[in-house]
Structures are given as structure tokens and as C-alpha cells.
Amino acid sequence: MRSFHYLSIIFTLLFVLTLAGFKANAQELVTNGDFETGDFTGWTLEELTENGDWFVYTGTSSPLQGMVILAPPVGTFAAVTDQGEPDSNLLYQDIQIPSGATVMCSAIVYYENDDDGDGFIIGDGLTLNVDNQQYRVDIMDPDAPSYDTGAGVLLNLFQTLPGDPNSLGYTTLNFDLSPFAGSTVRIRAAVVVTEDVLNGSIDAVSCIAEATAIPTLSEWGLIAMAGILGIVGFMVIRRKKVTA
């Protein structure tokens, strides 16, 4: 009976150790989401004209116009738009969502609109064909046109609308990309300007994927060993009962 007791203890310990191997593995999917490299490593920029762009900035002054803006909310650097004339500026990154993963994301946005009375205007998508003054953040189908605001938008996370205040302090966006597991999506921040300077900022973009780890060969070995020891223990106690 004592032998079976010892084997039972060993079996239990092996089982617990094996279960510990099935812990969730956390993985950051966004490259340089905090812009702390001091540049746009991992990101892609597009613009319709050369009148403005996205910039990595530090301090409290916009890169082109010297507008007073808030300092980066996290760390030393953040991304911000600045323009001298009408322009449409995109900043985006494609991320692959692992199959079966739970993916929780966040980003911090902020803007300053140098309003002359028109405020925010929703024009023709992100083009400069008509009056258009807006800032938006979307989850996109990477195969869609980069300036698309229609079917290519899988999830709109943020958008300025007519009547919104001209200044917005640090605002955290929380979003779940788990429904897109097994596919690639694009995180896009877009600022289009036809009226006045619009400093749209984004920082601390993060998507954490958590998935149950697949057992390694050594973990499968523990499972097999635990099963064998359990069978041996059962046979030992049964033999002792028969002998008695």
C-alpha cells in the first residue's frame, strides 16, 4: 500500500507540472508601437501631397508649424501630423493575428485642431476633392486601398465628427482583435486637412496576443510518464489485494 501511495504522489506532481506547461504565452504584435526608436521603424507612411506628414516628435511643439501641443503621453516620443497646406496623411502597420489567440489592444490618441470657424468636416473619404478636416483610426483589410473608408474598414476605432471640440486630451482606445484571429489586419491612423492645421497624435499602440501553449516533446514525455506510473501503481495495489 505504501508503494502505491508514493506512486500516487509522483503521479500528482507530474500532472501538476504538466498542466503548468499549458500556460498562456503573451506576445506583443505591434512593432515600435511607442515610437521609442525615435523613428517609424515598423510603420508605413503615405501622403497625397508634400504639404505635411506624420512625424515622430518629442517636447511640446509641432515639427513644421511650431504649434503648441501636448508632450508624448508615454515615454519620450510619439507620432503627430503637421501640415502647411491641404494634405492627407496616413500612418499604418500590418499585424498578423495568431490563430486561436485572444488579442487585446490599446492606443492613446490626442489632437489639436487650429479652427477658423469650420471645425471638423467629413468629406469624400480621405481625399482632398472637397472640404475635409478629420482624424480617424481604423482597423483595415490590408488588401483594401490604403485611403479607403468603405468596405475596407473592418473596425472604426476613432473619428472626429462635425461639432466635436477642437482639442482632445490623451484618450485611450481599447479594442479587441480576437475576432480576426488567423488573419492579417492593418492598424491605420489618418489625418486629412483642407482647412487648417490639424495635429493628430497617436502613441502607445499595443496588441497583446495570448494563446495556450502547445506541449513540447518533453511535456508530452511527462504526460506519458505520468500515465505509465499511474497504471503501474494501479497494478501494484491490485496485486497486493489479490495476494491478500
* pLDDT tens-digit map of 35-45: 999 999 999 99
Pairing of the two strands 52-57 and 78-83 = antiparallel
Residue predicted with more confidence, 161 or 19 = 161
Cα gap 241→205, rounded to integer Å: 65
Percent of the chain with pLDDT over 70: 77
Residue predicted with more confidence, 21 or 63 = 63
Mean pLDDT of the chain: 86
Q: What is the mean pLDDT of residues 212-227?
A: 53
- CA torsion sign for 209, 97, 35, 176 is negative
Q: What is the mean pLDDT of residues 114-136?
A: 93
- What is the structure's pLDDT at 115? 79
A 10 A CB-CB count for 231 gives 12
The amino acid occupying position 224 is A
Reduce the DSSP state of residue 55 to 3 states and report it. strand
Reduce the DSSP state of residue 21 to 3 states and report it. coil
